[in-house]
Structure 1
Amino acid sequence: MKLAGIFTAIIILPLFITITVQSSPYTPPHFIKSTTNHSNTTTQHFFELTHPLPTDTTPPSCSVSLLNHSFANTYNKPPVTVIHSPEPNSTCHWSVAVLEFRAECKGEQYDRIAGVWIDGVEVLRTSTAQPNENGIFWIVRKDVTRYASLILKPNFTVTVMLENLVNDEFTGVYHVNVSLLFYAKPDTLPLSSIVPEDLQARKLNRLNRLNRKLISVKHDEIGDELGQNRGFRSLKSLYPYDKPADLIVPVSVSGGFKEGFWFRIEDEHDVKMKNVEISNKAYKAVLELYVSFHGNDEFWYMNPSDLYMESNNLTTGRGHGAYREVLVTIDGKLVGSVVPFPVIFTGGINPLFWEPVVSIGAFNLPSYDIDFTPFLGLLLDNKSHSIGIRVADGISFWLVDANLHLWLDDSNVQAWIVKSNVPSMEIEREDEFVRLDGEFKIKGERNSEVTGMVHSSKGNMQIRFTETMKFKNKIKFKEEGSKKIVDQRYKRKTKIKITNESDQLIESLEVKVKYPIKISTDTKPGLDANTSLMTTKVEQERSERFNGGKDYMELRHKQNCTGLMVVKGHSVLSGSAENQQSYNYNDDSGCYSRMVDVVDGAVVGDNTSSICVD
């Protein structure tokens, strides 16, 4: 039985005079760009648009180089793991921790997925850029203060997985450095005054700083403060991470040191489970979910129905429709879900789009929070419970894992569920096609409501969670399937309201997200034998708004890409591309906006402003 809910279909079956196996009109839109005629003659800096961290203009109090490794032939091999042990008598007082992931590569190589874990807890999901013969580099900096309970340990393991393959054709080796930067306190400068540094100067500054002798850290006093939850605040965090959790439990592969910590999900029936036993002192719990999609599901939002594949005798495995949803269960009971943001990796659609500015989320894939606090009544009984993760309608393959963040009281906590209604998504489908041309529509909706009670030393708290999700996807195939148009829209509205026994408001959060994406590709025969001319277009937006009373955060990141390329197989021989991106970030400390225009791999416009955009 499918997890899709309601199913309706309108189908006009194709007419065949003879039945033959056709080559697929739906060529997977994943390519590798040629390095032979690249115009850049120096090492090029790739980057993802994001807002600067307040610490970017402040030297760290101390820094620790956790891992230096060159990832060459690492496919089907264990991840790289090191043990961090602070040097004796070394001390570093800090309130903010930043993970810095630096990478460089030269040659020809596909894009690769990578993950960073601390003691089996994922702290970064990232992907690589496609290099050129002159070399590229990039830097990802992420505030990881929310993982303070792990970093404060006297010893912890750091694991990095990046499966790469090097041979005569694919020569690129990814050289990676992972460091932790510690800051005594965040910079108080407004966002508008923190502007990007000169790219080459920034590279030299980072190399000089990180190549000096790095001290280890010992966190005695800050550890006491964290345990008491006194005055500890990240750079910019709303509920649920306004204070770092006291304990983080990995929901990942137990033998991750051998095969990697992420679960690999192969189809819609594949359920990955991890048994956990929750402390009876937990008064708040949040599951942080990491997700990426690969193989036949890398472009799941572009997949037509299986009936279309079967009716046209197509050999590709990229079908099963365009609805995907990551479902999370406790002991088999559905408690939350995520329709993930459609991150496009640097080989996707048209790789010429993504140099040197990569797609939204490509270097720092978003994680997703599911509030477990209303469900603590299922967990606080001194028994082991199974947390399950599956992908509705998924096909091979997805990489998923999760971190269970727990906030602990000084004494035992009692919890119970007052109301729980988390239904499956109600899905409607329409397929209408003749031979290779047609239209495929999917829409879904879910309304969830959960109320739970938690009794701790803080008193009786009622947590009310409500969520509305709406999903629409429309795919059109024209001109014998050579022209494809995808229009997908997803929006979610989540409200969390916490009140005391007198019905007085303690905390509240409203989250609104919108992830629209439009893609069109048009493929025609090329001038040379066995080549094609592809015209491509991508319009995409990541819109997120968090409102927590006095605190708020709003992000609107848009990209508009147009281009064409000459391809042979999956290799891009030549082409032209434009990438326009606008990034607008607002919070209660100010506004930051940046607009970047790229033409044929060269940045022709880069403007930063402190003006708030409505």
Structure 2
Amino acid sequence: MANNAVFLLFFLFVLPNFLLQHPTSASNLHKMKQLTSDSVSQATLADDSKTKQPIEYFEVTKPIELPKTKPCSYLVLSHDFADTYGRPPVLANYTPPSDCPSQKFSKIVLEWKATCKGRQFDRIFGVWLGGVELLRSCTAEPTPTGIVWTVKKDITRYHSLLLQSGQTLAVYMGNLVDKTYTGVYHVDISIHFYPDEHESKSGNLAPGNGCPADLILPVSRKLPLDGGLWFQIQNSTDVGLKNFKIPQNAYRAVLEVYVSFHENDEFWYTNPPNDYSDANNLSLVNGAFREVLVTLDGNLVGSVWPFTVIFTGGVNPLMWRPITGIGSFDLPTYDIEITPFLGTILDGKVHSFGFSVTNAVNVWYIDANLHLWLDSKSSRTEGKVLNYMAKPLVEHLVSDFSGANGTFLTKTSRSISATGWVRSSYGNITTTLVQDFIYNNSMEMGNNGNKQTVNQSISFNDSVHSESPSQSHNLIDETFRTFILYVNEDDTDQGNDTFLSLTNVTLGFYENKSKTSDLGLSKSSLKNVQEGQGTILVKNNLVLVGQGKNKQDYSYISNEEACYSRKVGSSNLSIVYDKVSDPCHTRGRSRFGVGFINKPPVML
């Protein structure tokens, strides 16, 4: 085999005729998502006589720091997910470890291992314990020779839940198997409990200073049911509601929100304004802006402007093999501090959380976990909201088009803040929540609607400040995030009922965190940038040939945890380079520069 041999992947796809009428209309990404694999083959290489092994897919992320103790590991579920779409979740009885040398664990890790071969879509799935979601993820798309992937997630924050007996583990993956889609996902789920190396001192810490919650309540749908436990938000007026009641001795509350978007809103960020869609007879509606609104008893208490996760079958599936998109194997969650509002729900009565999505089109999957810290020295705490402000969403839209060509600019912003006090055995602590969001999306349609360019950024500040009169339990927790997205999709007519589709994608996840508490000052900085390019040739509604490549630059810096950097690139299923290093030990470079706490760069 020549060293510079070009490695092509050949894919045949079945596509409904109406989706490939030319000239096409925006958005091309919605059209390409409908391509369904009919058969897959690799170009023959000189050493093809060697046995082909399953390809290992992976998402680039920082390895979990583990203690030196030997874990107590338990296989909690082993199952083959075949024809499971729309059916009840797979259930298993859960019992925490009882034969470990120690019952004090400093790290708990969930491990998902899966294999598959044949032909299959990417499938969203969730893992719940007692209704509390532990993991949301996407499957990898298989090949005829097979694939394998592993997801490891630090679930130590669910410590109190994981030590409770008599619970049900639920896993839902909506898979379809027939003569066309032959891929069955063979899954093993294990939980690894790592005993604490040293006697923990977290029990004496004030709220927010590092100890996991004492109680976690599910804010999801109840079993038994068909499908996942998440709420399904179908449109902009749909609301997912969950009633709950908390113990009256809670002194802190944090709502952890899970969000994913699918079907007609999987590529919401590419939707043009309604006037353009109406003029061009498109089904893509409501523009390119979405936000998740979270209410408590009908009042807005927080918002989520989600990272644009691209699943393994998204845009061009060839780009995500074997390096998958940022967040695709472990979707990010979003914390909202509820402590300022705690005084309104400490009355022992039933209250409700609500979830809705601005401009939503079907379908969004949303649920949440309510993390509660309880005062062991008191049977009842009390609190009050002092200040509350939720400014209306500020929107600005510029739409300029002629026929199927045009340019569009969407800008939005929102600010939410609240202050409240809670009196417990820790004293009277006043907590302030601030959320500030800025969104920019520029979109250009060209080539009679066959070319689309999207350049988007979401920036937000999420800060929590807690103060006590004695200054002994103060907390300053600030997070600055910027999510960037660039997509360019260009379809070119090649004649003879054939067109060539070229795609370029850039994803960026930037995060700066700073926390000052009784434990001291901690800082961390994450830069995670991914660039992908893909090409497919389509003739008579069949994709004849395609290529994909991907490169990623991941860098995590911290003054407390191990630093980690990985630069990796792939081309047509092969890794072409992979370099791991410690960015904190680079000669002449400090861990944090002068502008550390500033917001990450914004593309627009």
Same fold (TM over 0.5): yes
1:25 CA displacement: 4.2
Q: Is the 8 A contact 1:373 1:452 kept in 2?
A: yes
SS at match of 1:582: strand
Q: Is residue 86 of structure 2 the alignment partner of residue 76 of structure 1?
A: yes
1:86 CA displacement: 5.5
1:24 CA displacement: 3.5
Q: Is residue 598 of structure 2 the alignment partner of residue 598 of structure 1?
A: no
Q: Is the 8 A contact 2:26 2:272 kept in 1?
A: no
Cα 1:367–1:449 change in 2 (3 A) is same
The residue that corresponds to 1:382 in the other structure is 348
Q: How many residues align?
A: 548
The residue that corresponds to 1:104 in the other structure is 115
SS at match of 2:318: helix
SS at match of 1:358: coil
Structure 2 unaligned spans of 5+: 1-20, 594-604
Cα 1:570–1:244 change in 2 (3 A) is farther
The 5 Å alignment of 1:348-387 reads 348-387=314-353
CA distance in 2, matches of 1:572, 1:240: 53
The letter of the residue matching 1:309 is S
Cα 1:413–1:505 change in 2 (3 A) is closer
Q: Is the 8 A contact 2:268 2:289 kept in 1?
A: yes
1:88 CA displacement: 7.0
SS at match of 2:361: coil
Q: CA RMSD in A?
A: 2.4
Aligned equivalent of 1:61, options 57, 64, 71? 71
CA distance in 1, matches of 2:94, 2:71: 18
1:89 CA displacement: 6.1
The letter of the residue matching 1:114 is F
1:463 CA displacement: 0.6
Q: Is residue 292 of structure 2 the alignment partner of residue 326 of structure 1?
A: yes
CA distance in 2, matches of 1:74, 1:105: 15
The residue that corresponds to 1:8 in the other structure is none
CA distance in 2, matches of 1:506, 1:25: 51
Q: Is the 8 A contact 1:288 1:370 kept in 2?
A: yes
The 5 Å alignment of 1:196-215 reads none
SS at match of 1:604: strand
Cα 1:404–1:474 change in 2 (3 A) is same
Aligned equivalent of 1:288, options 247, 252, 256? 256
SS at match of 1:480: helix
The 5 Å alignment of 1:154-165 reads 154-165=165-176
1:35 CA displacement: 4.4
The residue that corresponds to 2:27 in the other structure is 26
Aligned equivalent of 2:550, options 579, 583, 591? 579
TM-score, normalised by the number of residues in structure 1: 0.85
SS at match of 1:342: coil
CA distance in 2, matches of 1:503, 1:90: 40
Q: Is the 8 A contact 1:108 1:170 kept in 2?
A: yes
The letter of the residue matching 1:373 is T
The letter of the residue matching 1:139 is T
1:59 CA displacement: 7.0
CA distance in 1, matches of 2:525, 2:148: 29
SS at match of 1:398: strand
The residue that corresponds to 1:344 in the other structure is 310
Cα 1:580–1:552 change in 2 (3 A) is same
The residue that corresponds to 1:607 in the other structure is 579
SS at match of 2:281: coil
Cα 1:309–1:373 change in 2 (3 A) is same
Q: Is the 8 A contact 1:239 1:509 kept in 2?
A: no
SS at match of 2:362: coil
CA distance in 2, matches of 1:119, 1:241: 26
Q: Deviations over 1:88-120 (max 9, x none)?
A: 766653321100011110001110000000000
Q: Is the 8 A contact 1:47 1:138 kept in 2?
A: yes
Q: Is residue 414 of structure 2 the alignment partner of residue 413 of structure 1?
A: no
SS at match of 1:52: coil
1:431 CA displacement: 1.5
CA distance in 2, matches of 1:320, 1:335: 24
1:434 CA displacement: 0.8
Cα 1:239–1:163 change in 2 (3 A) is farther
Cα 1:297–1:139 change in 2 (3 A) is same
CA distance in 1, matches of 2:212, 2:571: 42
SS at match of 2:86: coil
The letter of the residue matching 1:26 is S
The residue that corresponds to 1:184 in the other structure is 195
Identity rate of aligned residues, in percent? Answer: 39
CA distance in 1, matches of 2:348, 2:195: 38
CA distance in 2, matches of 1:447, 1:86: 42
1:466 CA displacement: 2.0
Cα 1:431–1:186 change in 2 (3 A) is farther
Q: Is the 8 A contact 1:280 1:382 kept in 2?
A: yes
Q: Is the 8 A contact 2:454 2:486 kept in 1?
A: yes
CA distance in 2, matches of 1:246, 1:267: 35
1:501 CA displacement: 2.0
1:402 CA displacement: 0.4
Aligned equivalent of 1:539, options 493, 506, 518? 506
SS at match of 2:549: strand
Q: Is the 8 A contact 2:208 2:475 kept in 1?
A: no
Aligned equivalent of 1:48, options 49, 52, 59? 59
The letter of the residue matching 1:185 is D
Q: Is residue 42 of structure 2 the alignment partner of residue 38 of structure 1?
A: yes
Cα 1:462–1:42 change in 2 (3 A) is same
SS at match of 1:516: strand
CA distance in 1, matches of 2:234, 2:167: 31
Cα 1:262–1:284 change in 2 (3 A) is same
Cα 1:599–1:86 change in 2 (3 A) is closer
CA distance in 1, matches of 2:333, 2:528: 16
CA distance in 2, matches of 1:521, 1:484: 5
CA distance in 2, matches of 1:335, 1:84: 34
CA distance in 2, matches of 1:175, 1:373: 42
CA distance in 2, matches of 1:186, 1:569: 63
1:532 CA displacement: 2.4
CA distance in 2, matches of 1:394, 1:331: 22
Q: Is the 8 A contact 1:47 1:356 kept in 2?
A: yes
Cα 1:371–1:170 change in 2 (3 A) is same
Structure 1 unaligned spans of 5+: 1-19, 188-221, 233-237
CA distance in 2, matches of 1:608, 1:89: 37
Higher strand share: 2
1:320 CA displacement: 1.1
The residue that corresponds to 1:486 in the other structure is 454
CA distance in 1, matches of 2:125, 2:230: 10
Q: Deviations over 1:243-265 (max 9, x none)?
A: 11111111101235543211000
The 5 Å alignment of 1:97-176 reads 97-176=108-187
Cα 1:243–1:568 change in 2 (3 A) is farther
CA distance in 2, matches of 1:251, 1:567: 45
The letter of the residue matching 1:435 is G
CA distance in 1, matches of 2:523, 2:531: 27
The 5 Å alignment of 1:200-599 reads 229-230=202-203, 240=208, 242-314=210-282, 317-410=283-376, 411=378, 412-502=380-470, 506-526=474-494, 529=497, 531-549=498-516, 550-567=521-538, 572-587=543-558, 588-599=560-571
CA distance in 2, matches of 1:145, 1:257: 28
1:560 CA displacement: 1.1
CA distance in 2, matches of 1:59, 1:500: 37
Q: Is the 8 A contact 2:96 2:162 kept in 1?
A: no
SS at match of 1:54: coil
Cα 1:569–1:551 change in 2 (3 A) is farther
The residue that corresponds to 1:196 in the other structure is none
Q: Is the 8 A contact 1:32 1:347 kept in 2?
A: no
